[in-house]
Amino acid sequence: MAADQPDPGDDVTLTFGGTATTLLRLGPFVLLTDPNFLHRGQWAHLGYGLRTRRLTEPALQATQLPDLDAVLLSHMHGDHWDRIATRSLPKDTPVVTTPEAAACLADRGFTGTADLRPWQIHELTRGDDTLRITSVPGVHGPGPLARLLPQVMGSVLELIRGGVAGPEVTWRGYITGDSLFRPVLGEVLERCGPLDVLIPHLGGTKVAGVTLTMDGRQGADLVELLRPPVTVPVHYDDYGRFTSPLGDFVAEVADRRLPGELRTVGRGETISLRA
C-alpha cells in the first residue's frame, strides 16, 4: 500500500523513476540510482546479443534532474545505465560502482568514477554531514552463469550527521542491486548494523529460463532475513523479461506475516524513507 507523500521537511526521501532508477534525497545529498531513461518500446541491451523491450514510460528524465552529488550504479546492464544516460549525464558526474562498470564508463569518457570492491567504502561530505556508501556483494546469476554476467553490487547508505554530541548515523538503507537472494546477505547487519529501509530489486528476471533477480519468494526471504522496519520494492514491471510482478512479493510478505511496513511507490511519486 503506497504511503502518503512525505512532509516537506522530511530529510530522507525517494522519488521513483521506474526500473531501479530513483532520486534519493538524503539530508544535504542528492543521489541518482541506476539511470534508465529509455522510453516505452525501446530496447535495452544486455550483452551476448540479448535485449529486452521497455514496457513503461520513465518518470524521471535526464534533462530534468537536479544537481547530483553522485550516481550510484549497481552494474552495467542496459536497463540500469542506458545510451541516454551516456549521452546526457555530464562526463564529470561522480559515479560509484563496480570496478568493471567503472572501466566501461571510463571508456565512454566519464572521469569521476569510484570503483568499489565488496565491503569497500566511499564517502561524500558536506559541512558536518557525511554520506557513507558501503559496497555489498551481489550474485546476478546462479553457479557458473555468474561469471558471464556483469559484476553487481548492492549498497548500504548511511547518513551521518554532525551535532553537539558528535557525528552519529541518523539513517541507514540497503539497496540490493540485481542480486539473487543468498543467506550471506545477512552479513549486511553484522557489518553495518540494523537497517531503517530495505530497497530490493525484484522482478524475477529470466533469460533462457534462468532466474537472474529476486522474485517474490526470494524478496520475501530477504525481508525475513534482514527484518527492516520499511521495505520499498523497485525493479519489477518495466521490461518484458521481468516475470514476477509486484503482486507476487506483496502476497508472499502478507502470507508469511513478515514484520515491518511494505511501502510501495508509483512511478513519479515521492515517499519518505523514515520508519
**What region does 19 belong to: left with phi over 0, alpha with psi -120 to 50, or beta?**
left
- Report, as an integer, the average pLDDT of 128-154: 88
Question: Which residue's C-alpha cell is 561522480?
Answer: 94
Q: pLDDT for 253-263, tens place per residue?
A: 999 999 999 99
**Which pLDDT score, from 0 to 100, does residue 1 have?**
43
CB atoms within 10 A of CB 128: 12
pLDDT at 7: 65
Query: What Å distances lie between residue 42 and 53, 102, 131, 149, 240, CA to CA?
Result: 6, 25, 35, 22, 11
CATH topology of domain 12-268: Metallo-beta-lactamase; Chain A (3.60.15)
Domain ranges of the chain: 12-268
Residue 252 pLDDT exceeds 90: yes
Element holding 104 (H helix, E strand): helix 99-107
3-state secondary structure of 80: coil
What is the four-CA torsion angle of 208, 182, 195, 23, rounded to 10 degrees? -20
- Rounded to whole angstroms, the Cα distance separating 248 from 261 reads 16
